Amino acid sequence: MHIKTTKCNRFCLVASVTNRELFHHSEVQAGFEALFRSFDSEVQFQYFKSFRRIRISFRDALAAAEARLRLHKTDFNGKEMRLYFAQVISVGRNLRQNQPPKPEKQFLISPPASPPVGWEQSQDATPVINYDLLCAISKLGPGGKYELHTATPTTPSVVVHVCDDDRGDSSAPDDSDQDDKPRPPRPKIIQTRRPDYTPRVEQ
């Protein structure tokens, strides 16, 4: 976006003052405003304390010019006062530079503002469940095997082997038997001993 200063506002002055009392005491402000009301009785003031500036708006451009001519670099309350015409700032309107990208190019933005032209949401495929494989695996016991994929001249076969039970009992453990057995005691956590502190003697 291009910013360009074009011309001055002939109806508005900006006063640059270094006297801080002007922004805190109403009596000093009344004396300051009286200087400009002699040129225009309906002049308006806007105080910007952080910038030490005062915006002075006139109804007549000639009154603003006369006030600037007579009061510029004059003494007010022991400090020099400077007056400037407010500047009008126009923002350039280059439509070719400020336009958003074309819809077919917006998918390059992350995240994209909109999908590219012709894009359609894909439907999730139905999950494939091999019930024969699940049935065969459920019938397997310890030591058994099941061939998932038959070997071909170019690929090996895939075979699932079921491990034997270490206890020699293929039956599933009963939860009631485990409840009757006493649980092993939990190991006690030994706290780390704090090291001894020896005060350092300076020599």
Predicted local confidence at residue 141, as pLDDT: 72
Of 12, 38, 17, give the one whose Cα is nearest residue 28. Answer: 17
Is 123 a domain residue?
Answer: no
Residue 47 has pLDDT above 90, yes or no: yes
Answer yes or no: is pLDDT of 1 > 50: no
Classify residue 54: in a domain, yes or no. yes
CA distance 52 to 47: 8
Whether residue 34 is contained in a domain is answered as: yes
Whether residue 54 contacts residue 48, with contact meaning beta carbons closer than 8 Å, is answered with: yes
Q: Which residue, 98, 83, 90, 94, is CA-closest to 53? A: 83
Instruction: Check pLDDT > 90 for residue 132.
Output: no
Higher local confidence (pLDDT), 17 or 103 = 17
Q: Which helix (H) or strand (E) holds 90?
A: strand 79-91
The answer, yes or no, to whether residue 176 has pLDDT greater than 80, is no
In the numeric block, which tokens belong to residue 140? 């397997």
* 146 part of a folded domain: no
- Dihedral class, residue 187 (left if φ above 0, else alpha if ψ from -120 to 50, else beta): beta
Q: Specify if 39 maps to a domain.
A: yes
Q: Is the peptide bond before 184 cis (omega within 30 degrees of 0)?
A: no
**In which domain, by residue range, is 74 found?**
8-87
pLDDT at 162: 74
Query: Taking residues 24-49, what's their average pLDDT?
Result: 92
The answer to whether position 73 is within a domain reads: yes
Q: Which of 20-24, 139-143, 168-172 has the lowest mean pLDDT?
A: 168-172
43 close to 60: Cβ distance less than 8 angstroms: no
Task: Please report the pLDDT score of residue 36 as a whole number.
Answer: 94
Higher-confidence position of 103 and 149 = 149
Confidence class for position 178, pLDDT limits 50, 70, 90: low
> Number of structural domains, the chain?
1
Residue 43, classified by CB atoms within 10 Å of its CB into exposed (0-12), middle (13-18) or buried (19+), is buried
Polymer length in residues for the chain: 203
Q: Decide which of 73 and 132 is more confident.
A: 73
DSSP annotation of 71:
H
Q: Which amino acid type is present at position 88?
A: V
**133 lies in a domain?**
no
- CATH number for the domain harbouring residue 78: 3.30.70.330
- What is the C-alpha radius of gyration for the chain, rounded to an integer number of angstroms? 45
Measured distance CA(139)–CA(141) in Å, rounded: 7
Q: How many CB atoms lie within 10 A of CB 46?
A: 11
For the segment 170-189, the average pLDDT, to the nearest whole number, is: 65
Average per-residue pLDDT for the chain:
78
143-156 mean pLDDT: 81
**What pLDDT, on a 0 to 100 scale, did the predictor assign at position 55?**
93
Q: Residue 94: what pLDDT?
A: 54
- Residue 72 is assigned to a structural domain of this protein: yes
